[in-house]
Amino acid sequence: MTGTPGYLEISSLTKRYKEGIAPAVGDVSLSVAEGEFLALLGPSGCGKTTTLRMIAGLIDPTSGTVRVAGKDITHAPVHKRSVGMVFQSYALFPHLDVKSNVAYGLQMRRVPKTEIATRVNEALKLVRLDHLADRRITALSGGQQQRVALARAIVINPQLFLMDEPLSNLDAKLRDAMRNEIRGIQQRMGITSVFVTHDQGEALTMADKIAVMSEGKLEQFGSPTEIYERPATRFVAEFVGQANLVENVRVIPDGGRAGMIELPGAGRLAVPRVSGEYRDGATAMIRPHQLEVRPAARPGDIPARIRSSVYFGDTVQYEVEAGANLLKVQMFADGAPALPVGSDAAIGTTTDCVHFIAA
């Protein structure tokens, strides 16, 4: 459930740490609705933390604006903003117990004692830690400490819930469980959230909107489906999921449909529709799961040779040569033996639409 559009609005946000070098964050603009979950996604050093800290008020922007609920807070000090923040390091007070850590923000805001007790208890229930309210922080597991940090951020009922790679210190199983937990709490509270991650899986599974960043710039802003299925740039196509990027592909129309796409040196592949920038010579993006290797060619397939195959239990990943192209193909493992390396095969598509990106 999401409400008012433009609840969090960032316009031309820029941070230059030093004159004369490219800004850490340059001209980033985006807008999310009330209750939405935004993921800032990109490789290390692309400017995610800097962006988040400008939203939090921990870094003063060089230029641009941050607005929340229509109010310009660009240069407002942290304590004048209504933000709850979770850091990668948790930053808890180790000498205090769980409930005192969670109560801290409410005490700072001079909330009456009885109300603090109630709200701390509610927040601890939300993260399922109410039974450990009197434990010392040092006697908690990593996952439990993570929950305390979450409770401490949300107990103040902030306008914005900001998280900087909060799951990166947890092991894989716990990370998956915490993903669902954070998303669940965020949705139940209907709290507008910004989540920094370099993990495309986290962004795709948790977020309503994803902002993909590279070298301080916003590459693309959109829903997970838009980002994954219709990437705007090469960078986004390769960073979010696996992609075959085939250059100089020609579209051969067939009536109102795309009909076929011609891969250089490999022949014509039947594809009912195309999306994106599909002029001739553009780059086709084909996800490995959108291709299939077949022992015998069907109409509209192209000839190929198996270069490698790797068995993952649930899937088999092939590398196949088609003309001058080396294509990744991912298929469900159906129990049949994988096609042998070096053998001739055919490739067909399992998708009805291939996406093109500007060269």
Residues that bind Mg ion (CB under 5 A): 49
Residue 186 CB, nearest approach to Mg ion (Å) = 20
Tell me which of 26, 47, 57, 84 binds ligand ADP, using CB under 6 A.
47
Question: What does DSSP say about strands 160-164 and 302-311: parallel, antiparallel, or unpaired?
Answer: unpaired
Q: Tell me the CA end-to-end span of the chain in Å, nearest whole number.
A: 38
| DSSP single-letter state for residue 166 | T
CB closer to Mg ion, 160 vs 354: 160
Instruction: At 151, list the tokens.
Output: 């409770």
Residue 311 binding target from ligand ADP, Mg ion, none, CB below 5 to 8 Å by type: none
CA distance 263 to 269: 7
Query: Is 48 a residue that touches ligand ADP (CB under 6 A)?
Result: yes
| Sign of the torsion angle spanned by Cα atoms 186, 187, 189, 192 | positive
In angstroms, give the least distance from the CB of 288 to ligand ADP.
27
C-beta closer to ligand ADP: residue 59 or 297 = 59
Q: Which of 26, 50, 119, 214 lies at the binding interface for ligand ADP (CB under 6 A)?
A: 50
Both tokens assigned to 23: 């800004």
Beta-carbon count within 10 A of 331 CB: 19
Binding mask 7-46 vs ligand ADP (x if CB under 6 A, - otherwise)?
----------x------x-----------------x-xxx
| Residues near ligand ADP (CB under 6 A), total | 10
Task: In angstroms, give the least distance from the CB of 46 to ligand ADP.
Answer: 4
State how far the Cα of 116 lies from the Cα of 106, in Å rounded to an integer.
Answer: 6
**CB-nearer residue toward Mg ion: 86 or 269:** 86
Q: Tell me if 135 sits within 8 A of 97, measured CB to CB.
A: yes
Spatial separation of the C-alpha atoms in residues 203 and 40, rounded to whole Å: 8
Q: Footprint of ligand ADP on this chain (CB under 6 A)?
A: 17, 24, 42, 44-50
